[in-house]
Amino acid sequence: MNLFGSELLKVEKRMLENSAKTKAVFSEETSLIEFGLKLMWDSTNITQKAQKDFVENPNRVANTNLFGRNRQFLTNAYSCMLFATYVTQFVDLRVVLKNNNLMRLFNFSHRQAYAWLDKDKQNEFSPKIQNRYKKCKTRKHFGPSSVLKKIHKKTGHNKAKINTAKIYGQLCDYTQPNFLGWQELMGIQGQMNFFWTCLYS
């Protein structure tokens, strides 16, 4: 137990050192990210107080929920960036991108937003809204590729669609067992002891 405790302290010390170095080297960037995260927290507080005004708008209810999720994921991604745990950061950023695409879709389609909400949340709407969308399937599947197609079918931005799909693919390379992402992350020379060296050197 003592051995595990002492090794864990080494890991924690290294994480704090990484954080200090990141902030020193990228002071302007980290300050900007922190400012953006503060704005997200402030915006969340405002929308939570205004939620009673959203009762007739499925897209606002859905997007408020997704915005809150993104705030949490981006906060965690920032912490991972500071601690140099990049793989975990990419997992979070992939979720953020998927949530952003969903929010764009729900801005176009209240019907899709209503279908995304669970039955309990749907039942909180007025009978008028429930009747309007009663044919929507609850918990409808919203896969990344189908959402992307629906978004850009509306906007017609082919270049944006291609770029978003490319970024999503790159994030998938890092978060799934894909050798290309691992090779790029670790470098062409790919030393197997890289991870342990980062933790304990």
Q: Per residue of the chain (201 residues), what is the pLDDT tens digit?
A: 444 556 667 878 888 888 889 899 889 989 999 999 999 888 877 777 666 666 688 998 899 889 989 999 999 999 988 888 777 888 899 999 999 999 999 998 899 999 998 888 888 888 998 898 877 766 667 888 888 888 877 666 677 778 888 888 888 877 776 666 666 655 544 444 444 344 433
C-beta atoms surrounding 16 within 10 Å: 12
Residue pair 114/130 in contact (Cβ under 8 Å)? The answer is no
Q: Is the pTM of this model over 0.85?
A: no
In single-letter form, the type of residue at position 191 comes to Q
User: Which residues fall within 8 angstroms of residue 75, CB to CB, at 6 or more apart?
Assistant: 37
Compute CA distances 127 → 122, 133, 139, 170, whole Å.
Answer: 10, 10, 19, 44
